[in-house]
Structure 1
Amino acid sequence: MIPGSDRPRLARHVRLVWSPARQQHVLQLPETVVVLNPTGAAVLGLCDGRTTVGAIVDELATRYRDVPGDEVRLFLKSLVARRCVEMADD
């Protein structure tokens, strides 16, 4: 699992943008678009390279009723594996 002290950020080649056509946030990658649900967009919106995973989980808990920290970490882990998110552990 991803430690709570890691600080995620979007990789340089990835952009989180609002798609007017889809009326939702998407991740833009070279030659690919990943459509996000609102919770996924909220997680990635907090991935600024300064905010820790633990702080992201805490922030989401204030916004939403039920956001399991393990699911947030699993989501970020899958995006790290796809090279969409990078982690700093300082």
Structure 2
Amino acid sequence: MAPRRISVSETSRPVLPRHARLKFDETRQRWVILAPERVLAPDEIAVEILQLCDGARDVAAIIDALAVRYTADRAEIGRDVVAMLQDLADKGFLTEARETTP
């Protein structure tokens, strides 16, 4: 089954699809997203955002956490986070978390 593409908003709960992993690459000495036949090397801020994309938090919670951590304007961070996550989703590196039933 192909990962579901998403339109990222503050209510989205993004997560890496099953075929992709965020991993620290010892050889490159940097974080990478590994996917079949593809490797993406996100910058430090993108890595921090991706580490918060656990499928439990929505984008609004991620933005709130970053705004507090960096004592920055929430609206500005929000625009940047949504744009970055949408770019990754468009490239197939993010999908929407599925609802789980207990």
Query: Per the shorter chain, which TM-score range?
Result: 0.7 to 0.9
> Conserved in 1, the CA contact under 8 Å of 2:66 and 2:77?
no
Q: Secondary structure at the match of 2:53?
A: coil
Distance 1:64 1:13 in 2: 31
Pick one of 65, 70, 85 that aligns with 2:79. Answer: 70
Measured in 1, the distance between the counterparts of 2:62 and 2:56 equals 10
Contact 1:76-1:85 within 8 A present in 2 as well: yes
What count of residue pairs does the alignment treat as equivalent? 90
Q: Relative to 1, partners in 2 of residues 1:89 and 1:6: Cα closer, same or farther, differing over 3 Å?
A: farther
Structure 1 pair 56–26 and aligned structure 2 pair: CA distance change class (3 A): same
Whichever of the two has the greater Rg, that structure is 2
Q: Could you tell me which runs of 5 or more consecutive residues in structure 1 were left unpaired when the two chains were aligned.
A: none
- Aligned-partner Cα distance in 2 for 1:18–1:63: 22
Alignment root-mean-square deviation, CA:
1.9
TM-score by length of 1: 0.87
TM-score (norm: length of structure 2): 0.78
After the TM superposition, list the runs of 4 or more consecutive aligned residues in structure 1 that deviate by more than 6 angstroms. Answer: none
| SS, match of residue 68 in structure 1 | helix
Distance 1:70 1:40 in 2: 14
* 1:40-55 equivalence runs, <5 A: 40-55=46-61
